[in-house]
A and B are shown apart, each in its own frame.
Chain A
Amino acid sequence: MSKRPIETIVIVGGGTSGWMTAAGVARTLQHANIAIRLVESEEIGIVGVGEATVPHIRYFNERLGIDEADFMRKTNATFKLGIQLLNWARRGDSYIHPFGEIGRRINGVDFHHYWLRLAQNGEAFNPFEASLPAVAAEAGKFDFPKQDASIGSSYGYAYHFDATLYAPYLRAYAEARGVRRTEGKVVDVALNGETGFIETITLQNGERIAGDLFIDCSGFRGLLIEQALKTGYEDWSHWLPCDRAVAAPTESVGPPHPYTRVTAREAGWQWRIPLQHRVGNGYVYSSRFISDDQAREDLVRHLDGALMAEPRQLRFVTGKRRLSWNKNCVAVGLAGGFLEPLESTSLYLVQQAITYLLEMFPDASFDAADVDEYNRMIDLEYERVRDFLILHYHGTERDDSPLWNYTRTMAIPESLAHKMALFRDAGQVVQYRYGMFLERSWHAIYLGQRIAPQRYSPLADKLSLEETRRAVHGIRALVAREAAAMPTHAEVLARHCGSAA
């Protein structure tokens, strides 16, 4: 196959996936002689239900050279220090999974070992009080992290924003850098008779667009990767049984929280995403355990502001495409797979799909080694997130509904079983280098889900009990002081980037 460079990239589908891809490719390959086309249809609505993100999105924007205040103004964005989880291990429980540390290492040993040592000595305390981003978030505070060695530099942040505004924002960026948008619906995909590679797509108006590399951002239907290339899908519903969501925007009640709230419910969980001028809400649920009507009722009953639009329903199948990259087609976003947004990973997976593609950008020969490696890395990303999410469901004590009884007792992937066994025994987290989540995120969920290790590391015994108390409570006091000194989220928003109403 020809080793000539790629000359034309065709992106099928707009929305955040399509325009993030277009912007990323245009920015990174702007020096190359590559034509970038994007085909989208105004008719096909994009899945816009408010978006929470993880800190990686900041690097994506930075690489594009996007000004943060401008982006936040145009997308109605707020800051996010973490995710507040309500009612997950037990009804009434509340903890925040922060973008940062819980305590810090003392003498080279993780904080939670000292927490456990004190707890086993009858001196239990809430470990999350040692996390600056968790305490600050709960108190409605926010500040930009410092760059020094102080505790003020020990956390990160992300955003909540209106995804239906992020896409057009990136569209303006991409079109200004030469990406050509075509309005239309794809009705046919022509494959090469010998190789099976995609050669052209045909639009409803008859226009045919040829390309070397095709990127499928067409959403769940996977026009190219599935309908044309029949790649296949790996269904993970037996581990993550939610398959529907009902979403609705509500009016703000009070200043926006600097965190996403996810509340465990009878048959799933409800999200609350605060934007500058309204709140995004949704109930992610399993149709096996609740009817659509009941889910809709439950959502509406649990809203804290007035409804601004009729609730909309979405259906999905949790899982991933067997191959994210098949022949000369790469699936990005929903076309590549779906994991419920419990830990705000949807745009992260889009970002990684784009980043890896750019790092391993092919030539027209589409070497199998490149494609295989890409798929291996994307698979890893999906599996890491999958395991982390399953932990939220499986690591529960709840027995008050069929959903929780199912997830609490179901068989889980061996990779996760191994991780949980290691933590339960010795408080150790399986180390890995690639993919989400860092060790401290695993600590947060284990501790928040009341999964305490049987024993703490004997390394933590090197300090005396009195020294341990001093160190641990010193950190708690420092966190409390630092959080109290922070401005409020609302103040920082107004100062930095209040958007036009």
Chain B
Amino acid sequence: MRRIVICGGGAAGWLSAAALAAAFKPETFDIRVIEAPADTSALGVAGALRPEHAALHGLIGLRTHDLLSEADATFNLGFALRGWAEAQEAFLPFGPIGEGAGFHHFWRRARSQRIR
């Protein structure tokens, strides 16, 4: 029996604990999480996740349904950037833009030919 001690709770601490518990046979590790008492009067900080997170949730058996009902979750399709450059808002999607050779080349060509 080996011991794993996780210092700190929150998402990082509890995700680590959950993942370790799920990945190995139950008797493999003695997992302990040490965290400061939670301040339950404060509203939790909202966080955003990326699609890559789905694999981890799958491992620990966390379903979309659980997130929606327990963590007040909404869906995230990407990130909108405002005010970073003078131009209009930019959007970083979770997915490809266009298809084939880097779409940005077609976009540039269209611009150079004044195609809107």
Give me the interface of A with B, judged by CB distance under 8 Å: 108, 458-459, 461-462
Q: Report if B64 contacts A (CB, 8 A).
A: no
CA–CA, A108 and B24, complex, Å:
12
CA–CA, A17 and B25, complex, Å:
54
CA–CA, A462 and B23, complex, Å:
7
CA–CA, A127 and B39, complex, Å:
54
Q: Which residue of B lies closest to A464 (CB)?
A: B25
Shortest distance from the beta carbon of A30 to any chain B beta carbon, whole Å: 14
Specify which chain B residues have a CB less than 8 angstroms from the CB of A459 in the assembled complex. Answer: 23-24
Interface size class of B (residues with CB under 8 A): under 10
A-B complex: 6 closest residue pairs judged by Cβ atoms: A462-B25, A461-B25, A459-B23, A458-B24, A462-B24, A458-B28
- Summarize B's interface: helix, strand, loop or mixed: helix
Specify which chain B residues have a CB less than 8 angstroms from the CB of A461 in the assembled complex. Answer: 24-25, 28
Q: Which residue of A lies closest to B26 (CB)?
A: A462
Specify which chain A residues have a CB less than 8 angstroms from the CB of B28 in the assembled complex. Answer: 458, 461
- Summarize A's interface: helix, strand, loop or mixed: helix
CA–CA, A459 and B23, complex, Å:
6
Chain B, range 2-50, C-beta contacts under 8 Å to A = 23-25, 28
Specify which chain A residues have a CB less than 8 angstroms from the CB of B25 in the assembled complex. Answer: 461-462
CA–CA, A301 and B28, complex, Å:
57
Q: Which residue of A lies closest to B27 (CB)?
A: A461
Q: 11 interchain pairs (CB within 8 A)?
A: A108-B59, A458-B24, A458-B28, A459-B23, A459-B24, A461-B24, A461-B25, A461-B28, A462-B23, A462-B24, A462-B25
Specify which chain B residues have a CB less than 8 angstroms from the CB of A458 in the assembled complex. Answer: 24, 28
Q: Which residue of A lies closest to B102 (CB)?
A: A359
Q: Which residue of B lies closest to A359 (CB)?
A: B101
Shortest distance from the beta carbon of A25 to any chain B beta carbon, whole Å: 15
CA–CA, A326 and B28, complex, Å:
56
CA–CA, A458 and B23, complex, Å:
9
Shortest distance from the beta carbon of B20 to any chain A beta carbon, whole Å: 11
CA–CA, A458 and B25, complex, Å:
9
Q: Which residue of B lies closest to A28 (CB)?
A: B101
CA–CA, A108 and B25, complex, Å:
14
Shortest distance from the beta carbon of A394 to any chain B beta carbon, whole Å: 33
Specify which chain A residues have a CB less than 8 angstroms from the CB of B59 in the assembled complex. Answer: 108
Q: Which residue of B lies closest to A358 (CB)?
A: B101
Shortest distance from the beta carbon of A463 to any chain B beta carbon, whole Å: 9
Shortest distance from the beta carbon of A59 to any chain B beta carbon, whole Å: 15
Q: Which residue of A lies closest to B59 (CB)?
A: A108
Shortest distance from the beta carbon of B113 to any chain A beta carbon, whole Å: 14
CA–CA, A461 and B23, complex, Å:
10
CA–CA, A108 and B59, complex, Å:
9
Q: Which residue of B lies closest to A107 (CB)?
A: B23
Shortest distance from the beta carbon of A373 to any chain B beta carbon, whole Å: 14
Shortest distance from the beta carbon of B61 to any chain A beta carbon, whole Å: 13
CA–CA, A458 and B28, complex, Å:
9
Shortest distance from the beta carbon of A443 to any chain B beta carbon, whole Å: 21
Shortest distance from the beta carbon of B19 to any chain A beta carbon, whole Å: 11
Chain B, range 46-95, C-beta contacts under 8 Å to A = 59
Specify which chain B residues have a CB less than 8 angstroms from the CB of A462 in the assembled complex. Answer: 23-25
Specify which chain A residues have a CB less than 8 angstroms from the CB of B23 in the assembled complex. Answer: 459, 462
Q: Which residue of A lies closest to B28 (CB)?
A: A458
Specify which chain A residues have a CB less than 8 angstroms from the CB of B24 in the assembled complex. Answer: 458-459, 461-462
CA–CA, A135 and B28, complex, Å:
36
CA–CA, A461 and B27, complex, Å:
11
Specify which chain B residues have a CB less than 8 angstroms from the CB of A108 in the assembled complex. Answer: 59
Shortest distance from the beta carbon of B108 to any chain A beta carbon, whole Å: 13
CA–CA, A461 and B59, complex, Å:
16
CA–CA, A461 and B28, complex, Å:
9
Shortest distance from the beta carbon of B95 to any chain A beta carbon, whole Å: 19
Shortest distance from the beta carbon of A181 to any chain B beta carbon, whole Å: 28
CA–CA, A459 and B22, complex, Å:
10
Q: Which residue of B lies closest to A108 (CB)?
A: B59
CA–CA, A462 and B26, complex, Å:
8
CA–CA, A459 and B25, complex, Å:
8
CA–CA, A461 and B29, complex, Å:
12
CA–CA, A458 and B24, complex, Å:
7
CA–CA, A461 and B2, complex, Å:
14
CA–CA, A459 and B59, complex, Å:
12
Q: Which residue of A lies closest to B101 (CB)?
A: A359
CA–CA, A389 and B2, complex, Å:
39
Shortest distance from the beta carbon of B112 to any chain A beta carbon, whole Å: 12
CA–CA, A316 and B25, complex, Å:
54
Given A458-B24, A458-B28, A461-B24, output 7 extra A-B contacts at Cβ < 8 Å: A108-B59, A459-B23, A459-B24, A461-B25, A461-B28, A462-B23, A462-B24
